[in-house]
Structure formats: structure tokens, C-alpha cells
């Protein structure tokens, strides 16, 4: 005998497919939805479908957007000379939160990961090189994650972009703000020393 009624079991199965949602979380969300009103459930399903139907990739930077090109690519107040390359659309939000970056973005939708079969062909690189052809871009900031995959992607990109005469920089890696040197491992400490700056 099944533990749950068939429609509820199906809902739990669908929720379990979402990232970070296990069996117990899926059950909790499913029971919450079951207890909520029909209007709440309709609003949620409409929001999911609306996002699915209306959100697309920006043809220039590959960010998720409702209008193409996206607001970052069309904002005249943003510099066209600097492009920040990130792995995912939510990394754009992280950089934006600093309120210090006034250039444009390019989203790769991944990083080089041989173990997952992700090579350069799987990354959205083609339109990045089309953007570099115009001659307006003076600097590429590679803001991929500070891990093995992100570092490999950064070095791969720099080897392709530097010969075009464009400055390639990498976001600093090292000791997080608020932590202590005592707990830093050798790789983190080495990267912090490599990325030191004059004060």
C-alpha cells in the first residue's frame, strides 16, 4: 500500500526533483500546499508558468531576462569597456549587491568540469567573443567561483582573450572578511598572498 494518496505522492515526487529538496522537505511543502487555499496554489502554479513562459536568455550576455537585450546590456549609464564574466545568473545579483560595479555582464551558465563532461563547447562563449570584436571592451573581469572548476575556466578564458589585446583580471581569492588567519589552509593563504595589494 502506498504511503500517500496518488496525487499527493506525485506532487512529492515532482518537488523532490528540485535542487536541495529531499523526501522530508518535499513532504513538508506538499502538505503545506494541500492545507493552503486553492487561490494560493493557483497563484504559485501561475507564477511558475509565467516565469517559464516569459523568461529567456539575453542574446548579448545570456542573463535571464524578460526583455531582450536585458536591462544591464541596454543601460546607457553602464560602461561598455568592462565585462564581468560569471558562471550563473544569480552571480550577477551577488556582484550587483556591491553597488560598485558599473560595467556589463556575461553569463557562461557553467564552468569547465571534465568530471561532469562540461567542456568549452558546453559553455556560452560564442557571443562573448562576438562582443569583443567591436573593440570597445578594454577589460574582462573573470568572476567565476574560486574552486577548481572556476579557476580552470578563468585560466582557459584568459588564454583565449589576452592575445586579443584585452586586459583580463580575476576577482581576488583568499581570506574571507571576518574570518581569522589561524584557520586558513595553504591554498587559501597562497592565493591571498598572490592577490595582495598595496595600501
Partner 1 sequence: MLNSFACRRVDISFEMPLRETEALVLRTHRLGEADKIVSLLTRQYGRLRAVASGAQRPKSRYGGTLEPLSYIRLWIFERENRDLLRINSAELAESFFSMQNDYRIQIAAQYVAEAAERFLPEREANERVFRLLLAVLRAIKRSGEVNRPLIYFNYWLLRLGGFLPDFGVCASCGAALGAQGYYSSGAHGLSCSACQLPQESFGLAVSDLNSVTASCQGTLDRWILSGKPPSGMNEVRRFLEALIETQLERKLVTRDLLEGGH
CB-count burial class (<10 Å; 0-12, 13-18, 19+) for 52: exposed
CA 142 to chain centre: 12
119 binds partner 1 (CB under 8 A): yes
Least Cβ distance, residue 9 to partner 1 (angstroms) = 23
β-pairing, 139-142 vs 104-107, is: unpaired
195 binds partner 1 (CB under 8 A): no
Least Cβ distance, residue 181 to partner 1 (angstroms) = 11
For 83, the grid coordinates are: 565585462
CB-count burial class (<10 Å; 0-12, 13-18, 19+) for 99: exposed
9 binds partner 1 (CB under 8 A): no
> Is the CB of 117 or the CB of 135 nearer to partner 1?
117
172 binds partner 1 (CB under 8 A): no
Contact letters for partner 1, residues 137-166 (x by CB under 8 A) = ----------xx--xx--xx----------
Identify whether 69 is preceded by a cis peptide bond (ω within 30 of 0).
Answer: yes
Least Cβ distance, residue 151 to partner 1 (angstroms) = 4
The interface region with partner 1, picked from 32-40, 60-68, 80-88, 181-189 by CB under 8 A, is: 181-189
Is 169 in a helix, a strand, or coil?
A: strand
Instruction: Tell me the backbone φ, ψ of residue 105, rounded to 5 degrees.
Output: -120, 165
Which residues are near partner 1 by CB under 8 A?
A: 19-20, 22, 112, 114-117, 119-120, 147-148, 151-152, 155-156, 176, 178-179, 183-188, 191
Amino acid at each position: 500500500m502506498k504511503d500517500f494518496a496518488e496525487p499527493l505522492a506525485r506532487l512529492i515526487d515532482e518537488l523532490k526533483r528540485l535542487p536541495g529538496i529531499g523526501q522530508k522537505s518535499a513532504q513538508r511543502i506538499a502538505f503545506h500546499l494541500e492545507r493552503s487555499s486553492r487561490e494560493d496554489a493557483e497563484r504559485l502554479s501561475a507564477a511558475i508558468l509565467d516565469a517559464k513562459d516569459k523568461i529567456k536568455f539575453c542574446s548579448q550576455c545570456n542573463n535571464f531576462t524578460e526583455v531582450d537585450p536585458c536591462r544591464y546590456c541596454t543601460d546607457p549609464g553602464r560602461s561598455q569597456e568592462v565585462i564581468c564574466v560569471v558562471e550563473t545568473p544569480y552571480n550577477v545579483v551577488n556582484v550587483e549587491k556591491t553597488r560598485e560595479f558599473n560595467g556589463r555582464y556575461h553569463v557562461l551558465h557553467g564552468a569547465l568540469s571534465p568530471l561532469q563532461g562540461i567542456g568549452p563547447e558546453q559553455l556560452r562563449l560564442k557571443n562573448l567573443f562576438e562582443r569583443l570584436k567591436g573593440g570597445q571592451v578594454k577589460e574582462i573581469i573573470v568572476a567565476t567561483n574560486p574552486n577548481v572548476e572556476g579557476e580552470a575556466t578563468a585560466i582557459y578564458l584568459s588564454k583565449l582573450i589576452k592575445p586579443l589585446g584585452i586586459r583580463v583580471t580575476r576577482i581576488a581569492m583568499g581570506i574571507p572578511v571576518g574570518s581569522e588567519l589561524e584557520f586558513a589552509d595553504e591554498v587559501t593563504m597562497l592565493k591571498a598572498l598572490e592577490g595582495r595589494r598595496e595600501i
